[in-house]
Structure 1
Amino acid sequence: MTAIALPGRTRTSTTTTLLTCGILAGPVFVGTGLLQGLTRPGFDFTRHPASVLANGTLGWIQITNFLVTGLLTLAAAAGTRRVLPGRWGPRLLAVYGVSLMAAGVFRADPQDGFPLGTPAGPPSSVSWHGMLHFACGGLGFAALVAACFAIGSQLSPTRAWYSRISGLLFLVGFAGVASGSTSPVVTLGFWAAVGITFAWLAVTSVHLMPRGESR
């Protein structure tokens, strides 16, 4: 006799799968970036953002990293949409997911000695894809900060403050690199800000996981 899946259980299972993507997005992106940074000649965490890893013969790894993480974030946004009553939070998170994918399509320019053979300092001129990379990144980062506030407003006071603080810390980290500063503190601060917001996405996804009967 063939078992018939109950609609409620199917919905719960789908929501859980989508939110699991939100848990995986951070480890995939940060882990892949750290592994590359530790193994690719010329890369320096105190001088280079993850975006420049998209250059060179192994650049396809970081491009794939952007695309996969973007898809995972989009899935997390869909899962969040199924659980929370508000609409803006999931939509803003989806914009961030799309921006990650766009960052993979529009490659950042080589800079400051990476890949090996690149002149020191910022690029002498910015390519069209470098401009689009920065523009998509700026839009996506703004959406991520707004998503932290919008989703946080749907949660308990403690979790709401956690969401807001995560968003603000990311905003500070992005403002530092957007200013053009090449200070190691600024560059490492942005790496930390990326980790903080992906941790927020993972923690929030766990919190929103359906438990027991469908939600």
Structure 2
Amino acid sequence: MKTGMQDPQEKFMETTAPLDRREKRKLETRARIEDAAYALFQRQGIEDTSIEMICREADVARRTFYSHFPNKHALLGGLGVSRLYSQAEPMLRHLMEQFESTRERLEAMIDYIEASFSKYQEIDRQLILTAPAVFANDPDQQRQINRSAKDSFASLIAAGQAAGDASRAYSPEILAAMIVGTLNTLTVSWAIDPDYPIFAKLEEARGMFEALICSD
């Protein structure tokens, strides 16, 4: 059995199709802007961070910034999407490669999420709450991210059903929707309420997922 997990904050940048040089350069520039902004927001807060500071930190021109984000609010939403909401598919792909059984994959998934929450700060709360504004302006992106997460969980469960260690009482699609809905609810609850017992709730979710999904 393969073991080990990468750092929860590491970005998984694999793609299913090769990018041309121009598109790759564009994505790298956008990532540099987002990384610079996140570092500044952590150090000095969102309100005290200007677009000019972000451009200087990222070593890009203002026109380059505006070619990716119309304003700072859009940047905040983009950060929320890229750092928090777009990680399900690559994370689950990693779990499928590293762990053999459905139970091990679900256990590692909760461990991964708990490790991520242990590192989240106030800026991450704001990003979680700001990202839906981006979705409102781009419903296609919202559907794509939601579908990607559900499809990835459904694939994990379907693989377990085929291997005989996942229950067949429910379809992979219904179980995937249950997982995504639960994790989204817990994440938003934590972002809204600083006193929300996120780790206790994640442990409760761990037990529920294993009880409903695992058959070994």
TM-score, normalised with respect to structure 1: 0.31
TM-score, normalised with respect to structure 2: 0.31
